[in-house]
Structure 1
């Protein structure tokens, strides 16, 4: 954005050092305020984009769930040609249950590794640093 009163060909009168120094806090304050406004504007734009993107992704997930439902129905209908309808639905439900149990067990094991959520290695390293500063504990690399 350009200042309409700005004329690059117009010469400004020279200001003294005292005038420059007395105007400096005002200019710094103005610069900081403009930078803060720029940050606010940029954050608002990015948060809006994040919100719209997240909403569209959520919509895609919902449509994908419907798609999976249709595929499961198709599997039941396909199996119903070789067995009774109730048996086909039972087979598909059993496969889904097995997949859910396997995913749940894998997730539980991974989750169990992260509990408690404390940075134990960093705490040990800090404790070693404190002991080194105090002059206690083992010396040398561990």
Structure 2
């Protein structure tokens, strides 16, 4: 068990993939803004229905640890949205079950790779 990027949520290191920025973020997108969270570990989350990818911004010394999880079904996304504790839900249902890549907002250009979408750009850049 390893702690990814000092975020306080353990991840299976065998699921980690090289840090390659996403080629695109497709619509439709759904997000949980910061205001919907009362979490000590999770800042916000974005779900890409077009690619079945989940992006979670974790808190460290600021919300700059973004994990991209692949092949996440909409049912898992719904469970995260409905969970009373986002961090506990991620720990039980996502962190050890899905391949992931650690990104920072610097991995996303202001435009392109889906950041032409206002929702995706706000998710990545809003503190």
TM over 0.5, yes or no? no
TM-score (norm 1): 0.14
Q: Normalization by structure 2: what TM-score?
A: 0.15
Larger-Rg structure: 1
Question: Which protein has greater RCO, CA pairs closer than 8 Å, 6+ apart?
Answer: 2
Greater share of strand: 2
Which has more helix, going by share of residues? 1
